Structure 1
Amino acid sequence: MRIIKAYDERRNEILDTAERLFHMNGYEKCTVNDILKEVAIAKGTFYHYFKSKEEVLDAIVLRYKEIVVSRAEKILKKNGISPEEKLMHIFMAMRINDKVDSDMLNELHKTQNALLHQKTLNQIVTAMSPILVKVIEEGIERKAWSCRYPLQYMQIFLAASLTLTDEGIFVVDADSQMKVMAALISMLEKMLEVPSDSFMQLFMQYWG
């Protein structure tokens, strides 16, 4: 008997399967036929949902981005917390380990998944920078700090922090990683023209 599934259910099934196969075998080595075989669907069914393997990859990347953006937007709307706390909350929201299986994250870091990894970082920086700019503007309005280039500084900070703290790119011990984080916080303080160590205590409170 033929099983007919709702559009979203079938689409998510294809994405879940493709994500697992990309992580296991690498994006380049995985073919549309591999996905078809695993999901047990015809080629016409696949192309009803996606035009290509590349479009599947983009949809998987979008999933990662949406997790982070959804969390950040909720924090942005919170009342009763300072701009400094909002920044820290949003940085914490970008840690998706609790939403993405740890094995999946480990696979994401492998060389064969470099394209998926790169696209994910690109999308997060692109989506998150404008959200952080709103927090920066709120802080400027409250005279908590000053910032000459909010968007550009947030792009630089995100690109640097996401790359330098990514264990799949730089393998460092815990002590070295903490020094990197301290340097990044120091850089943020200079970007926002606040006194040294203004954020460090808050950072340790939220990150620890």
Structure 2
Amino acid sequence: MRITKEYDERRNEILDTAEKLFHIKGYENCTVNDILKEIGIAKGTFYHYFRSKEEVLDAVVSRYTDIVMSKANEVLKIDSISSEEKFMRVFMAMRITSEVDGDVLNSIHKSENVLLHQKTLSSIVTAMAPILVKVIEEGIEKKVWSCRYPLQYMQIFLASSLTLIDEGIFELNADSQMKIMPALISILEKMLDVNEDFFMKLLTEYWQR
């Protein structure tokens, strides 16, 4: 008996399977045929939903980005916290260890998942920079800080932060990471023209959570 499924259900099944196989085999070693075999569908069915394996990859990356953006946008709605607290909460929204299986996150760092890794970092920087800009603009309006190039500074800050503390790019031990973060925060303070240690207490609190 032929089993038919609703569009979104079948699409999500393909994505769930592909994500699992990328974790097990690595994106580079996983083929469309591997996905078909795992689900038990015809090639035509796959291409009804996705034009290529890379389009599946983009959809998997979008899943991660959507989780981060959803968390960050929820923070934007909070009016009862300071601008600096809001900035740190939005920034820390990029920690998705409670929403995504740890083994899956670790698999992103495999050499055979380099494209997945690269696309994930790029997608998050692109999505999160404008959200952080909203926080920056709120702080400017409240005269908490000033910032000459909000979008460009946030792109630089995010790209630097995500790259330097990413274990898949730089092999830093815990001590080195603890030294990198204060340095990044110091750069942020200069970008926003605020006093030294403006964010440091908040950083310590969030880093220990």
> Does the pair score TM above 0.5?
yes
Q: Hey, what does 1:140 align to over in structure 2?
A: 140
Q: CA RMSD in A?
A: 0.9
Equivalent residue for 1:116?
Answer: 116
Report the alpha carbon displacement of residue 175 of structure 1 after superposing the two structures with TM.
1.1
Q: Which residue of 2 aligns with 1:38?
A: 38
Counterpart of 1:28 in structure 2 is: 28
Q: What's the % identity of the aligned pairs?
A: 73
Q: Deviations over 1:50-71 (max 9, x none)?
A: 1111110110010010000111
1:35-184 aligned at under 5 Å gives the runs 35-184=35-184
Shift of the alpha carbon at 1:4? 1.6
TM-score by length of 2: 0.97
Aligned counterparts of 1:187 and 1:38: Cα–Cα separation in 2: 48
Q: Which moved more, 1:84-93 or 1:152-161?
A: 84-93
- Alignment partners' CA distance in 2, 1:146 and 1:139: 8
Aligned residue runs from structure 1 range 190-201, under 5 A: 190-201=190-201
User: Any idea what SS the aligned residue of 1:94 has?
Assistant: coil
When the two structures are superposed, what TM-score results if normalisation uses the length of structure 1?
Answer: 0.98
Residue-by-residue CA offset, 1:128-160 (whole Å, 9 max, x unaligned): 000100100000000000111100000000000
Deviation beyond 2 Å, 4+ runs, structure 1: none
Q: 1:76 Cα shift? A: 0.8
* Residue 18 of structure 1 pairs with residue 18 of structure 2: yes
Gaps of 5+ in 2: none
Letter in 1 for 2:90: I
Q: In the alignment, which residue of structure 2 is the partner of 1:187?
A: 187
